[in-house]
Structure 1
């Protein structure tokens, strides 16, 4: 198969609770379907939590999209889980998940190898902490502990995405952009803020790509539905292989 481009979406779904306080995984799935994304990285996903009716949000969203979900609970209390998911209909290989050094709420990361045509792509999804020092430790771990690029023998084109709780002037952002490209800067058009969804002021959600990937387009997906479905706006990038 020839090399192709893929659409990748990162989206903090706020436990599928919108700014209207309505719990609606179907609404989140509708937002994602409208973007026609091939690979979806979600943060703040509830699985088996009493506050959201005990449902498996990752599985429900994936089912509605006719895709498969890989979920990593950053936080587990008895049967209740909360964390990150990667959803796709493309063939997947090795999956890695684990905690990141955390001061406050436990944070983690999830990586999945995904086959795109005749290429393999490593997608790493994370949700970093609220404290600056904590985020630096977490990003340093992601950059230096074998999370990115696959194995040393066979490095893979890599996407690191998620809710970084870090604006572009932050030390965390500067650290990651030493080695990876910010998709919103690589794609045409000016970068757009992702939070809060109703009146976006801050660029907290990012898609970073390795040098062997090309960003064709990157855009914050904003319409009447996305402004209410979560407290973050989704970020979409169209990515090709160099």
Structure 2
């Protein structure tokens, strides 16, 4: 079954790729790529454990949307791995990788022993993980058509939402740092999901998370892409993301089409899902794709990586 959906979507991918080529040749602000540059299509997608607008959980529906997009590298948020009955205790990260025929790295934010039910800890009706499961986890993933050569899951400060430490504010895992080999050029890709909420505490935690991410990304990154649900719209008063834009470029500001709103369906009213790039990466097009597979819409960007 490997790559079945990706092959079925080939015609759609060809059409999307042709459209991207037309946009690039029409004189996008970063200019047409040279023969030494590498074109790369990336996606950021908060999949809400594959729960669609209709309430149904469907990994196949998410996979089909990714395949249709033609994305080479995908940063996912809210991915379940044997988490609970809400997603049928399935390993969504591995299933998506298998359906799409892509390499995968999973970076849990929360990870528990197989016998611990995070949605019903110690209560009547707790459901154990299926036989062979090594963890009950929820977090981030990176999918790539290109080989993954290294991967790390960094810690960020969070208000812990599950488990015995629930309610504590402390560093826990949940910032995926993946290096992929794109036709001989190494590209660093991050997937992130920052603290949600509009309280002063939530904004303070996001501010701390941004500072921690920048320590990891570095002051002068090259060939670097940071994607994810950052839970702050640039039009809001908090300004928690502002330091990011001193180091990384907001792809939408460079080449976005439409209003850019990604959450929450059925009537998105905020742009909180981002594709950020180091300044050396060209951005020819960024768009929000229609989908009913989650409460967020996926963001797709066509990039030019300088060798």
1:113 is matched with 179
Residue 205 of structure 2 corresponds to residue 134 of structure 1: yes
Give me the whole-angstrom Cα distance separating, in 1, the residues matched to 2:223 and 2:38: 14
Give me the whole-angstrom Cα distance separating, in 2, the residues matched to 1:2 and 1:99: 36
Instruction: Choose 1 or 2 for highest CA Rg.
Output: 2
Residue 231 of structure 2 corresponds to residue 165 of structure 1: yes
**Contact 2:207-2:241 at 8 Å conserved across structures:** no
Select the residue among 135, 141, 153 that pairs with 1:85. Answer: 141
Give me the whole-angstrom Cα distance separating, in 2, the residues matched to 1:205 and 1:73: 19
Partner SS, residue 90 of structure 2: coil
Deviations 1:57-94 (A, max 9, x none): 01101111111210011011222100000001202211
Give me the whole-angstrom Cα distance separating, in 2, the residues matched to 1:156 and 1:115: 14
Deviations 1:146-168 (A, max 9, x none): x2159x9xx64101110000111
Q: How much has 1:99 moved relative to structure 2?
A: 2.1
**Contact 1:100-1:108 at 8 Å conserved across structures:** yes
The equivalences for 1:58-73 within 5 A come to 58-73=93-108
1:183 is matched with 251
Count of residues in correspondence between the two structures = 233
**Contact 1:120-1:156 at 8 Å conserved across structures:** no
Give me the whole-angstrom Cα distance separating, in 2, the residues matched to 1:10 and 1:213: 17
Q: How much has 1:189 moved relative to structure 2?
A: 3.0
Deviations 1:105-136 (A, max 9, x none): 35610011011123211001110002111111
Structure 1 runs of 4+ aligned residues shifted over 2 Å read 103-107, 188-191
Residue 296 of structure 2 corresponds to residue 232 of structure 1: yes
Per mean C-alpha deviation after superposition, the further-off stretch among 60-69 and 101-110 is 101-110
The equivalences for 1:187-198 within 5 A come to 187-198=255-266
2:122 is matched with none
Give me the whole-angstrom Cα distance separating, in 1, the residues matched to 2:224 and 2:297: 23
Partner SS, residue 102 of structure 1: strand
Give me the whole-angstrom Cα distance separating, in 2, the residues matched to 1:107 and 1:17: 24
**Contact 1:184-1:191 at 8 Å conserved across structures:** no
Residue 106 of structure 2 corresponds to residue 38 of structure 1: no
Select the residue among 50, 53, 60 that pairs with 2:88. Answer: 53
Give me the whole-angstrom Cα distance separating, in 2, the residues matched to 1:9 and 1:188: 14
Deviations 1:29-76 (A, max 9, x none): 001011000001100000012221111101101111111210011011
Residue 38 of structure 2 corresponds to residue 4 of structure 1: yes
Q: Where does structure 1 lack aligned partners over 5 or more consecutive residues?
A: none
Q: How much has 1:201 moved relative to structure 2?
A: 0.5
Give me the whole-angstrom Cα distance separating, in 2, the residues matched to 1:196 and 1:171: 20
Select the residue among 47, 56, 62 that pairs with 1:22. Answer: 56
Q: How much has 1:188 moved relative to structure 2?
A: 4.7
CA RMSD of aligned residues (A): 1.8
Partner SS, residue 257 of structure 2: coil
Q: TM-score, normalised by structure 1?
A: 0.91
